[in-house]
């Protein structure tokens, strides 16, 4: 019987799922995802997490609880630097320890460290150590690593064609990774900015992405911006922030405001997120400077769908009237 590795459907899952999932499957390991986010998962997480954690961290703990009795290992990597320069936020850095000391009775955790500041070979070393932990041979690990990157590159290509992560995963599963660029239509265009685990998790974001599309809005996100254009925006910073995902949000905001390319900007932030206290104000000031309307949506475990929809509908109506 194949080993089962549990992967919580939260946080970096929205960035790296095709890479990690393909690697484990090519190794001959069964990957089990937690259920999609829902109230029960969140309630479980709230019970287990420290009080001052943001809602994505609470949700992550709920996903761990959902998986822990179904798998042989939990995959909770210690992500430190994803681009070789910046780090992720402190709660990401300590995530394996936070989970380990918050929840009793866990199966063994695969918590290998990924810190690309140590050099270009760190990604390979990261996967090699995981493969050896699962008692796989060098060649099996190497072939799995190559297959994983092939799938991940196709995934990123689809995101640039304006597919959502879910749509991209489905196309890759059907071996249709050469999908044409989506021709989104809409009365107006909105940049929906925030961390992948807030804007793409339909429960945390209260279905915001789909609701905007139903309002005939063309929605663009950070993942639709080529990495070379994000790096170009970096030169506009007098001083960068420490955190990878925060800088990605700010750079994508500057990209969309450059011409500007959008009619409005919505920034989705999680209540209690320390880095977002700066990111939100920075994006607001840049929008004001560019004359582009801006809306902040702050989410927590008590966010109600009706209140959220009312604010978003009012913002969209205002943009449509402004456009005429």
- Measured in degrees and rounded to the nearest 5, phi and psi for residue 48 equal -100, -15
Between 273 and 73, whose confidence is greater? 73
DSSP assignment of 190-259: EEEES-HHHHS-TTTTTTHHHHHHHTTEEEE-GGGS-HHHHHHHHTT-SS--SBHHHHHHHHHHHHHHTT
Rounded to an integer, the average pLDDT of 47-70 is 90
Is the pTM for the entire model greater than 0.85? yes
Q: Which pLDDT score, from 0 to 100, does residue 183 have? A: 66
Rounded to an integer, the average pLDDT of 193-203 is 92
Between 233 and 35, whose confidence is greater? 35
Q: Which pLDDT score, from 0 to 100, does residue 239 have? A: 72
Q: Which pLDDT score, from 0 to 100, does residue 182 have? A: 67
Q: Which pLDDT score, from 0 to 100, does residue 67 have? A: 95
Over 90: is that where the pLDDT of 271 sits?
A: no
Confidence band, pLDDT 50/70/90 cuts, at residue 284: very high
Helix (H) or strand (E) holding 114, with range, is strand 113-115
Q: Which pLDDT score, from 0 to 100, does residue 174 have? A: 77
Distance CA 151, CA 156 (A): 9
Confidence band, pLDDT 50/70/90 cuts, at residue 308: confident
Tell me the β-bridge partners of 267. 193, 296
Architecture of domain 188-323: 3-Layer(aba) Sandwich (3.40)
Q: Which pLDDT score, from 0 to 100, does residue 231 have? A: 86
Domain 4-174 class? Answer: alpha beta
Rounded to an integer, the average pLDDT of 49-59 is 86
pLDDT digits (tens, 9 = 90+) for 241-270: 788 899 999 999 999 998 778 999 999 998
pLDDT digits (tens, 9 = 90+) for 130-162: 999 999 999 999 999 999 999 999 999 998 888
Confidence band, pLDDT 50/70/90 cuts, at residue 90: confident
Helix, strand, coil percentages, rounded to 5, for the chain: 50, 15, 35
Q: Which pLDDT score, from 0 to 100, does residue 92 have? A: 84
Q: Which pLDDT score, from 0 to 100, does residue 121 have? A: 92
Region of poorest pLDDT, from 60-64, 68-72, 303-307: 303-307
- In angstroms, the Cα distances linking 243 to 225, 298, 303, 322 are 19, 19, 26, 35
Over 80: is that where the pLDDT of 128 sits?
A: yes
Where along the chain do its domains lie? Answer: 4-174, 188-323
Q: Which pLDDT score, from 0 to 100, does residue 178 have? A: 66
Distance CA 179, CA 275 (A): 35
Q: Could you check whether 4-174 and 188-323 share the same CATH topology? A: yes
Task: Describe the crossing of helices 244-257 and 274-290 by its angle, rounded to 10 degrees.
Answer: 10
Distance CA 56, CA 131 (A): 28
Over 70: is that where the pLDDT of 203 sits?
A: yes
Q: Which pLDDT score, from 0 to 100, does residue 184 have? A: 67
Token duo for residue 322? 């402004």
Over 80: is that where the pLDDT of 177 sits?
A: no
Q: Which pLDDT score, from 0 to 100, does residue 268 have? A: 93
Q: Which pLDDT score, from 0 to 100, does residue 98 have? A: 93
Distance CA 43, CA 62 (A): 7
- In angstroms, the Cα distances linking 203 to 137, 233, 262, 274, 320 are 40, 31, 26, 22, 27
Confidence band, pLDDT 50/70/90 cuts, at residue 55: confident
Q: Which pLDDT score, from 0 to 100, does residue 242 have? A: 83
Distance CA 76, CA 88 (A): 14
Distance CA 97, CA 104 (A): 12
pLDDT digits (tens, 9 = 90+) for 33-45: 999 999 999 999 9
Helix (H) or strand (E) holding 28, with range, is none
Over 70: is that where the pLDDT of 85 sits?
A: yes
Q: Going by C-beta distance under 8 Å and a sequence separation of 6 or more, which residues neighbour residue 208?
A: 192, 199, 266, 268, 297, 308, 312
First to last CA, the chain: 62
């Amino acid at each position: 019987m194949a080993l089962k590795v549990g992967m919580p459907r939260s946080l970096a899952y929205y960035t790296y799922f095709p890479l990690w999932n393909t690697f484990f499957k090519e190794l001959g390991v069964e990957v089990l995802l937690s259920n999609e986010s829902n109230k029960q998962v969140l309630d479980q997480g709230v019970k287990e997490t420290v009080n001052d954690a943001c809602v994505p961290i609470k949700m992550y703990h709920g996903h761990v609880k959902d998986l822990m009795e179904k798998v042989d290992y939990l995959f909770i990597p210690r992500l430190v630097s994803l681009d070789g320069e910046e780090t992720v936020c402190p709660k990401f850095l300590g995530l394996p320890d936070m989970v380990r000391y918050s929840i009793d009775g866990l199966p063994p955790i695969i918590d290998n460290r990924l810190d690309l500041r140590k050099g270009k070979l760190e990604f390979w070393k990261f996967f090699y150590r995981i493969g050896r932990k699962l008692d796989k041979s060098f060649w099996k690990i190497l072939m799995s690593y190559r297959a994983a990157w092939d799938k991940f590159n196709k995934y990123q290509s689809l995101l640039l064609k304006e597919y959502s992560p879910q749509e991209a995963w489905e196309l890759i599963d059907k071996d249709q990774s050469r999908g044409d660029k989506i021709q989104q239509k809409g009365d107006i265009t909105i940049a929906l900015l925030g961390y992948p685990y807030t804007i793409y998790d339909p429960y945390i974001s209260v279905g915001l992405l789909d609701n905007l599309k139903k309002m005939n809005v063309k929605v663009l996100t950070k993942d639709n911006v080529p990495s070379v254009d994000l790096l170009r925006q970096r030169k506009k910073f007098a001083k960068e922030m420490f955190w990878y995902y925060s800088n990605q949000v700010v750079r994508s905001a500057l990209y969309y405001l450059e011409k500007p390319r959008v009619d409005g900007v919505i920034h989705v932030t999680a209540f209690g997120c320390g880095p977002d206290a700066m990111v939100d104000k920075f994006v607001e000031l840049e929008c004001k400077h560019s004359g582009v309307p801006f809306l902040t949506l702050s989410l927590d475990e008590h966010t109600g769908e009706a209140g959220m929809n009312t604010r978003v509908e009012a913002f969209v109506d205002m943009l449509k009237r402004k456009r005429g």
